Each structure stands twice: as structure tokens, then as C-alpha cells.
């Protein structure tokens, strides 16, 4: 699979990472070599195998519907760069 500059810029945009022009070439080369490496997996025949989303041979752990409040609004807001009236404050999202 070829990873062109356009796809790279799109990926950057989706991840909210700005990629400067001088880094585009090297990044695209790096990503392509990673993809080539992973592409080796395609050599394995899997048409007779069910898709596996997890390789652990275990059942999903479940919990009971019980409320357990371990932290207050103050605790959770402690790490917030900006806060006001118990809200997280972020730059305006819509005009």
C-alpha cells in the first residue's frame, strides 16, 4: 500500500496534528516502510479463518450495576488547564 502525501495530510488533520512541508517527505517514507513491513501479514492465508478481534482465550469480564463515586468534581478538574464554575473551559468550538 502506497501512502501518499495527501493521505498523510488527511491523517494529520484527523489526529489534529499539523505537519510542516519539510517533514512531509520523511514522514511519508517512514510510514510507507512501516506499512510494507506490516503488509507481510497478507501472505498468510486467512480465508478459512474467522476474523479475530482479540487473541486472548477468555470471556469478557462484567461488573454489577453499582454506583461507586471515587472522585469529586474538584478532583477531576484538578488537571484541567482552564476551569470555571465546575466546567472544563476550552476554546470556542462554534461561532
Residues that bind other proteins (CB under 8 A): 10, 14-16, 53-54, 56, 58-73, 76-77, 82, 84-94
Q: Which is nearer to other proteins, 47 or 65 (CB)?
A: 65
Query: Buried (b) or exposed (e) across 83-93, using 16+ Cβ within 10 A?
Result: eeeeeeeeeee
Could you tell me the smallest distance in angstroms from the CB atom of residue 43 to other proteins?
21
Cell 482552564 belongs to residue? 82
The smaller minimum CB distance to other proteins, of residues 45 and 59, is found at: 59
To other proteins, the closest distance from the beta carbon of 85 in angstroms equals 7
Residue 83 Cβ vs other proteins, minimum distance, rounded to whole Å: 9
- Local structure of 8: helix, strand or coil: helix
Report the candidate in 11, 3, 9 with the shortest Cα–Cα distance to residue 39: 3
Amino acid at each position: 500500500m502506497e501512502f501518499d502525501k495527501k493521505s498523510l495530510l488527511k491523517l494529520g488533520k484527523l489526529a489534529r496534528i499539523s505537519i510542516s512541508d519539510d517533514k512531509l517527505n520523511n514522514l511519508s517514507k517512514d510510514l510507507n516502510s512501516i506499512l510494507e513491513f506490516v503488509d507481510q501479514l497478507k501472505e498468510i492465508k486467512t480465508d478459512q479463518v474467522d476474523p479475530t478481534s482479540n487473541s486472548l482465550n477468555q470471556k469478557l469480564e462484567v461488573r454489577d450495576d453499582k454506583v461507586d463515586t471515587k472522585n469529586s468534581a474538584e478532583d477531576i478538574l484538578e488537571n484541567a488547564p482552564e476551569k470555571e464554575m465546575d466546567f472544563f473551559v476550552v476554546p470556542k468550538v462554534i461561532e
